Amino acid sequence: MKKQRSSKTPTLSESQISDLSRQYLLSRPLQEEFTAKTVELIKALLQVQRIEAHLIESRTKELESFQEKINRSPHKYQNPLNEITDLSGIRIIVYYEKELNTISELIVKEFDVDWSNSSDKRKAHKPEEFGYQSIHYVVKLSKSRSSLLEWHHLAGLQAEIQVRTVLQHAWAAISHKLQYKREEDVPQILRRRLFRLSALLELADEEFMILRDKTNSLAEVVQYKLAEGDTDVEINILTIEVFLNTSQVVSAIVTDAQRAGFDFEPDPNDNQEEDFSGLVALCNFLGLKTIFNLKVTLEQSTKWSYEYLLKQMQSSGSFWEASPSFICQLIMIKAFSDRISISYLLKAGWHREVAERVLKVASE
């Protein structure tokens, strides 16, 4: 939302626009630095709050885009270099609607917000109005941050920060593709259908948040039950994660794997959920329905786990990264070697060479 200017605002001449373009071209490297450092700051702030963003996008306006914006509304600006608020643009896309409020609080706390050009478009619409929008902030560095030596040269520069959920982003992208910006843009015959879609996405955002909260609550219940020794719970990705993180037998097998030479240093690029899912799928394939069934199998393996894992490590002939979930899969392959085929492992996403080697050692 930009400031409304009087119709008496003089129109910029072609020579003025040309001069402004040259000025922007010279200042753009500094603007690019501001964009990049602001993104890194936002990432650090989200990490402190333990918020995992789906995506953080950024761009510094290109010269052609800057010229296009002035040429489109030459009467709108007196000093475009100061008045165009999105020379740096940053978009934060998160998974859950509840996280929008946390991020908003962070932005207000850590930046100097230009409230006259900022808006929370979630609040702007009446219940019956069209739209499913995100939050827009126009910000500068706070006084405390701009006084720091490494930030001082960037004081006064502006960025537009958009904050939205994945579903809000999907709505924005699709409605933009359809060229529907406002309610009056939509043909009357299509409005009801579009309103229903908007409402469904809003409802989905709320339901995903409820699902996350219930998942967290369920994890606490499972953790309590397992801590009390009650392992009669179904195997799923949630119970597997709690079990792997709390089980003494898993801890003992991981110790054996470390002694055998497996590396357990966490890789930030590793997808732990994929490992959990692989173990769940393997248990289901073998007919193990409860954590109790898995626990019994792992307990029985402790008599031979070290020697077996050592042979697997030696057969690899190289460095081998692992996780508790993957080690448990190796154990299960040995325990049920007569029931696991190369075709199953290939369908589960294993590389053929690794699958063949693992099965060979497991069957010895």
DSSP state of 359: H
| Contact between residue 203 and residue 168 where contact means Cβ atoms under 8 Å apart | no
Which has more pLDDT, 110 or 180? 110
Rounded mean pLDDT, 108-120: 91
| Contact between residue 71 and residue 21 where contact means Cβ atoms under 8 Å apart | no
pLDDT digits 0-9 by tens, 312-336? 999 988 888 899 999 999 999 999 9
Helices first, then strands: H and E counts in the chain: 16, 6
* pLDDT of amino acid 254: 94
**Residue range 14-202 in CATH 3.30.460.10:** yes
In angstroms, the CA 12 to CA 28 distance is 21
In angstroms, the CA 35 to CA 352 distance is 45
The tokens of 276 are what?
A: 């959990």
For residue 53, CA distances in Å to 42, 93, 95, 254, 263 come to: 10, 6, 7, 31, 28
Residue 75 pLDDT > 80: no
Residue 145 pLDDT > 50: yes
In angstroms, the CA 158 to CA 237 distance is 44
State which H helix or E strand residue 139 sits in: strand 135-141
pLDDT interval class at 191 (50, 70, 90): low
* pLDDT of amino acid 220: 78
* pLDDT of amino acid 128: 44
Residue 241 pLDDT > 80: yes
DSSP 241-275: HHHHHH-HHHHHHHHHHHHHT-B-PPPTT--HHHH
Residue 263 backbone phi and psi in degrees, to 5: -100, 125
pTM score above 0.95: no
Domain boundaries, the chain: 14-202, 231-363
Return the closest-CA partner of residue 337 out of 346, 345, 347: 345
pLDDT interval class at 126 (50, 70, 90): low
pLDDT interval class at 357 (50, 70, 90): very high
| Contact between residue 55 and residue 170 where contact means Cβ atoms under 8 Å apart | no
What percentage of the chain has pLDDT greater than the value 90? 51
Residues 6+ apart with CB under 8 A from 180: 186, 194
| Contact between residue 112 and residue 140 where contact means Cβ atoms under 8 Å apart | yes
pLDDT digits 0-9 by tens, 196-227? 777 777 788 888 878 877 877 777 787 778 77
The tokens of 346 are what?
A: 């290939």
pLDDT interval class at 5 (50, 70, 90): very low
| Contact between residue 324 and residue 265 where contact means Cβ atoms under 8 Å apart | no
The tokens of 41 are what?
A: 């700051």
* pLDDT of amino acid 125: 53
DSSP state of 91: E
* pLDDT of amino acid 174: 72
State which H helix or E strand residue 121 sits in: helix 121-124
